[in-house]
Chain A
Amino acid sequence: MMNFFKLQGPAARVAPRPDPRDIGGPRQPMLIARNLRKHFPITGGLLGRAVASVKAVDDVSFTVQKGETLGVVGESGCGKSTLARLLMHLVPPDSGEMIFDGQEVGARYGLRLRDLRRNMQMVFQDSASSLNPRMPIEESVAYGPRVHGMGRAEARAHAISLLEQVGLPARLFAGRYPHELSGGQKQRVNIARALALDPRMLILDEAVSALDKSVEAQVLNLLRRLKSEFNLTYIFISHDLHVVQYISDRVMVMYLGEVVEIGPVERIYANASHPYTQALLASQLHADPRNRVTDPPITGDPPNPVNPPTGCRFHTRCPFAEAMCSSTAPRLHPLAGEEGHIVACHMADPSSGHARAGRAGLDRLGMARPLAAKAASEPPCKEGLRA
């Protein structure tokens, strides 16, 4: 279905444009996250002591290159949104470090939090609650620059030009209140506000998930246009695999607060190696009713993040699980012969001792409907449309 929207052409993997704000050079990743961890304590008893903790984000490490879009996918409750808030420091991480364009965030000689927030902004999922209901949208957009010391008139002019750039003519919209706008228009305002500080990186937390499909497509195209106009880097968090496939250069798959697979978008979608990623992809709905998904590729709810399973967190639902999976946690391991594709699965590591070691991606979930075989035999929709 996303192919209808893909008429603009696939995401161009271009080298980042030179940017005067650049510090670390083009090869320095925009963001390096190392071992980010956030456990939310569950308090109980009379004294409110922590009795347990929800392991929302557990040892998550990844990098985002300059100018790319990193898609983050996973089930509800896998820690995607917590990750976004951790990156923005809206919730302080328990441990781990972040390096933004070569500068460590919060370190003594590194990047101050205030400067990080100027360079990195976030678009929230709920377009309604992310705008102050008693503030005209123009003021909402101008608020950030005002806080950072821009004059009133200048901030207003800046806000008006941003509103124009996200497709909301200021003549019609600048003085409106959020309740006078539709969901898509509100999300445009949110995007304008995120851009108001002239950031280099945007975190889009389910930014289009609440919009209906046609508006979603418009906003996605807007995001794509803004990315090149403002020379942006995106972290695009979504549960919608079609959308992630459309917009991302690389994809990171999360399960129960951990990263299970990272790789280039076409590798992930064509040759997913982690059984969980395969299951996610197999659960995608197809536009063609003849390819209806009838059997869920995996069953059951994700385990409780308070007491995640030992070893590999996916072993309770994994059809290939063996004894070692419940005892030893797999490490993120690069796949042989596939550059930049890393997987946390014993099957991907030839030396792991798993019976299927080294055969990751060859044995697939949903045996009744082998995805790889189907993808090869069936022409993709795009060509089908044009034919």
Chain B
Amino acid sequence: MSEMTTNHAIAAQIPGEDVPRGERRSYWANVRERLGHDPVTLFFMGVIGAAVGAALLAPWVAPHDPYATSMLARLRPVGTEGHLLGTDELGRDMLSRLIWGARTSLLMGILPVLVALVIGGFLGVIAGFMGGAVNMVVMRIMDVFYAFPSVLLAVAISGTLGGGMGSGLLALTLVFIPSLCRVAETAASQIRGLDFVDAARASGAPVYSIIVTHVVGNVLPPVLIYASSLISVSILLAAGLSFLGLGVSPPTADWGQMLSSLRQGIYMQPLVCALPGLAILIVSLSFNLVSDGLRQAMDIKS
């Protein structure tokens, strides 16, 4: 036993080693703590939270009916009494339409990425971990999608399906699956070669258990970070689809759609016409900055 006490003594000599860390703290608890020390990320998380909150509570938050037109009050400037952010080319209240538009725009931004994350992540982990022929088949199929520019692909799919919100969502999902799959595949194939996976195999663990406990946990952080940066891309692509008339159809409020229909008034009320674009910019920027903050917080050695 004397040797054991020596071992303890040696372990305790290293600075900082005597801090009791016997209790388990989950990885995510550590991520939360690190995020707490990052005001920029927290602020932009707040911005996203406000946008999501406004979208969810649109019927109660919006001051006017977003579809009530008024031929007398068209293209009013920002700051008009009763219309804080002015009115559009049909006299609809801009603030209300922006709030209602957040519903479709955020949905189009987040949902395709989430679905693509599940599908692409799953395919990528399987391809990366299995390697060989499985990897070959999955990744070559993904390469076919990669061959087209993403906007063109989204337009093509959405156009073939006949436009509308559902086909827009589907098109965006299909656009994001290959890139998320590739990120997951890269991470998984790196992990496959590490000794702790061999150690898990050597302990007799079945493949699904190794994937669930050892691979997914290590693949998720890079994939999540990448996915959060894709949300802004998705919002922009969705706006682009609406702008081209392939996304949601008028009169539904949607930022891209609004930008498209307001462009005729750009010489009369430039600020009002820029508002939907500004909303897209702020939300996209927030998602990008939050994703950057997440990357730092999820870095294991920070």
B-binding residues in A (CB < 8 A): 85, 88, 90, 113-114, 117-118, 121-122, 124-126, 129-136, 138-140, 143-144, 147-148, 164-177, 179-180, 182, 185, 190, 193, 196-197, 218, 221-222, 225
26 interchain pairs, CB-CB under 8 A: A85-B198, A90-B202, A117-B204, A121-B203, A124-B199, A130-B194, A130-B198, A132-B213, A134-B217, A134-B300, A135-B214, A135-B217, A136-B24, A136-B25, A138-B24, A140-B196, A144-B204, A147-B200, A169-B11, A171-B22, A172-B11, A172-B20, A175-B21, A175-B25, A197-B204, A225-B3
Please state if B4 and A167 are interface contacts (CB–CB under 8 Å).
yes
Given known contacts A143-B203, A225-B3, A131 and B19 CB-to-CB distance under 8 angstroms: no
Question: In whole Å, how far is A271's beta carbon from the nearest beta carbon of chain B?
Answer: 33
- The residue on B at minimum CB distance from A214 is B10
- CB pair A218–B7 under 8 Å, yes or no, is yes
Residue of A nearest to B7 (CB): A167
Which 4 residue pairs across A and B have the least CB separation, nearest first?
A167-B7, A130-B195, A144-B203, A124-B195
Q: Are B204 and A173 in contact (CB under 8 A)?
A: no
Interface residues of B (CB under 8 A from A): 3-4, 7-8, 10-12, 14, 17-25, 27, 194-196, 198-206, 209, 213-214, 217-218, 221, 300-301
Q: How far is the CA of A185 from the CA of B202 in the complex (A)?
A: 21
CB-based contact B20/A143 at 8 Å? no
Contact of A185 among B11, B27, B195 (CB under 8 A): B11
B contact face: mostly helix, strand, loop, or mixed: helix
Residues of B within 8 A of A124 (CB): 195, 198-199
Once A167-B7, A174-B22, A175-B22 are accepted as A-B contacts, the answer to whether A133 and B218 lie under 8 Å apart by CB is: yes
Q: Are A169 and B213 in contact (CB under 8 A)?
A: no
Q: Chain A residues near B218: list those with CB within 8 A.
A: 132-134
B26 to chain A, nearest CB (A): 8
B8 touches A169 (CB 8 A): yes
* B21: chain A residues within 8 A (beta carbon): 172-176, 180
- Name A125's closest neighbour in chain B (CB-CB): B195
Question: A190 — which chain B residues lie within 8 A by C-beta?
Answer: 199
Is the Cβ of B196 less than 8 Å from the Cβ of A147? no
Judge whether B194 and A129 touch: CB under 8 Å.
yes
Contact of A172 among B19, B198, B213, B300 (CB under 8 A): B19
CB-contact partner of A117 in B11, B19, B203, under 8 A: B203
B64 to chain A, nearest CB (A): 49
**Min distance, Cβ A81 to any Cβ of chain B, angstroms:** 11
Pairwise interchain contact B198-A174, C-beta atoms closer than 8 A: no
Q: How far is the CA of A124 from the CA of B199 in the complex (A)?
A: 8
Report the Cα distance A44→B46, complex, angstroms. 55
Q: Which residues of A contact B301 (CB under 8 A)?
A: 179
B18 — nearest CB in chain A belongs to which residue?
A: A172
A118–B221 Cα distance when bound, in Å, is 32
CB distance from A195 to the nearest CB of B (A): 11
Contacting A147 at CB < 8 Å: which of B10, B25, B203?
A: B203
Residues of chain A with a CB closer than 8 A to B196's CB: 129-132, 140
CA distance A85 to B213 in the complex (A): 22
Take A129-B195, A143-B213 as given contacts and tell me if A197 and B22 are in contact as well, using a CB distance cutoff of 8 Å: no
| Distance in Å: Cβ of B301 to nearest Cβ of chain A | 5
- Tell me whether A133 and B8 are in contact (CB under 8 A): no
Expressed in whole angstroms, the minimum distance between the Cβ of B262 and any Cβ of chain A is 47
Contacts of A121 in B (CB 8 A): 202-203
In Å, the complex CA distance between A121 and B4 comes to 23
